[in-house]
Amino acid sequence: MMRRRADMMTREFSSATLLLCVLALSCSLVSGGRDRDTAHGRTIETTVGVTLKLGPRQVLLADGALGLHYFPDEAIALLDRGPPLRLLVSAGDSSYLVEGRDFANLEHAVRVLGPGPKGSFDNGYAGTAGAYRDPKGKLYAFYHAEDHNQELPRQAWYYSGWYGSMGVAVSLDGGRSFRKLGPALMSAKPDLNTLEGESTWGVAAPSVVLDRSGNYLLAYYTEHSPGSGNRGVTIGMARADISRGEPVPGNWHKYYEGRFEEPGLGGRDTAILEIEPRDEAAYLQPHVVFSSDLDRYVMVLNVAWWRETFEETELSRSGIYVAFSEDSIAWSTPEPILIEHSLPAFGQPLAWQATIIWDEGSSTEGWLVYAYSERWGPGYFLGTPHHMVGRRIEFELNVAKP
């Protein structure tokens, strides 16, 4: 049975497509959401001695707010805590600078990065997922880029197939405009349609974090291209040594068999997280932050069990998960913090693309911001595009480090 690929990027729908949706799907929609603890928080005791507290869900930006739809479509990049609070947010096929007094008062959005011309590596999509400001004030944005090669099969009649990579762009005006520098991470598997029927290939949904030493930028990404040993969709990592140069294309190296020596462009990688069974589920969309108080890296990611979303089996394992690492490479087994559908499907709830953003001066308290829809669809009576929600989040280390 052909492996289903995840990490689907949504787009605006035309009037003609809406009509097709009405004819094909109006009888199959379900009502209501499955995010059962909207009005209440929850406490999660993890197996690694960290207690996690989640507050109730809050809508931070509804669908259509500030002219945005289908957002956040990647991890959110924090530029400044403010005031004003300044964020890079992907929406539709582009990226926006979003500003406001705080998360409850986001007031302005302007498009700052979009797809490139036909034939470019990012001709179909340019969604920012991380940022880094160097000591000289240069702002680098790292984004999920999609090449919509017309020969790639479509994921579905409403999704384009794509070949993904991590692009880099630089801004000299604090994020109000960007100049693209090109791709920095690409899969070892080229876009050659070598596996019949597969529609998503390459590196996707990158997240970038400064390591505890301050010498390296670490990138975590979803690798969609099949590798050796018949592996499935996995989480890989790469790094750039910023003590020796800028985090530009050519200065990134992938993690492979215990070393960071493979080139970012086309090099091999070793999965740092991979779920079994590979044909049933996948780890997707990692976002990593460092907590100095916990002395650990914290990853939030999605886990997708295909049948729960597309074959309507009982929802019990898909959702947003958390994992921890002391060295940034070896990770604890991801544990669920929110059970919900984590792939977009008409009429189903959706919770994906989570980001942790710490409060000023804290590395244990902040916001869990993610994309949510109570009944996903293109709008009107067919559902609601995903939009920005958040929950207050708090971590507590309740066991002594060995």
pLDDT tens profile 276-311: 887 789 999 999 999 999 999 999 999 999 889 888
d(CA 61, CA 65): 6
For residue 5, tell me if it sits in a domain.
no
Position 282 in a domain? yes
Beta bridge partners of 356: 368
Residue that the structure tokens 């990065």 belong to: 113
Q: Which among 298, 306, 303 is positioned nearest to 319, based on CA atoms?
A: 303
Given pLDDT bands bounded at 50, 70 and 90, which one contains residue 38? low
- Strand 179-185 to 162-171 pairing: antiparallel
Residue 8 lies inside a defined structural domain of this protein: no
State pLDDT tens for residues 364-384: 999 999 999 999 988 877 899
Residues 6+ apart with CB under 8 A from 105: none
Any domain includes 402: no
Residue range 47-66: mean pLDDT, rounded: 97
For 333-360, how does the pLDDT look when each residue is reduced to its tens digit (9 = 90+)?
999 999 999 998 888 999 999 999 999 9
Has residue 224 got a pLDDT over 90?
A: no
Look up residue 258 and give its two tokens: 């215990």
Q: What average pLDDT does range 20-49 have in this prediction?
A: 58
The residue segments making up the domain with residue 147 are 15-397
For residue 259 the two structure tokens come to 């070393």
Residues forming a β-bridge with 139: 133, 171
List the one residue out of 377, 373, 315 whose CA is nearest residue 340.
315
The torsion angles phi and psi of 307, rounded to 5 degrees, stand at -65, -30
Across 160-174, 274-288, 300-314, 318-332, the highest mean pLDDT is recorded for: 318-332
Please give the Cα distance from 231 to 254 (Å, whole number): 17
pLDDT of residue 27: 35
Average pLDDT, the chain: 86
Contact yes or no for 112/177 (Cβ under 8 A) = yes
Here the CATH number for the domain that contains residue 273 is 2.115.10.20
Asked whether the predicted pLDDT for residue 159 surpasses 80, the reply is no
Q: Does a structural domain hold residue 3?
A: no
Give residue 152's pLDDT band: very low, low, confident or very high (50, 70, 90).
low
What pLDDT is stored for residue 379 in this prediction? 81
This prediction's pTM: 0.89
Distance from C-alpha of 83 to C-alpha of 256, rounded to nearest angstrom:
41
Q: Could you tell me if residue 2 is inside a domain?
A: no
Q: Determine, yes or no, domain membership for 10.
A: no
Residue 299 lies in a domain: yes
CA distances 84 to 65, 72, 88, 104, 356, Å, are 18, 19, 13, 12, 19
Q: What value does the mean pLDDT take over residues 86-113?
A: 97
Residue pair 220/211 in contact (Cβ under 8 Å)? The answer is no
Number of domains in the chain: 1
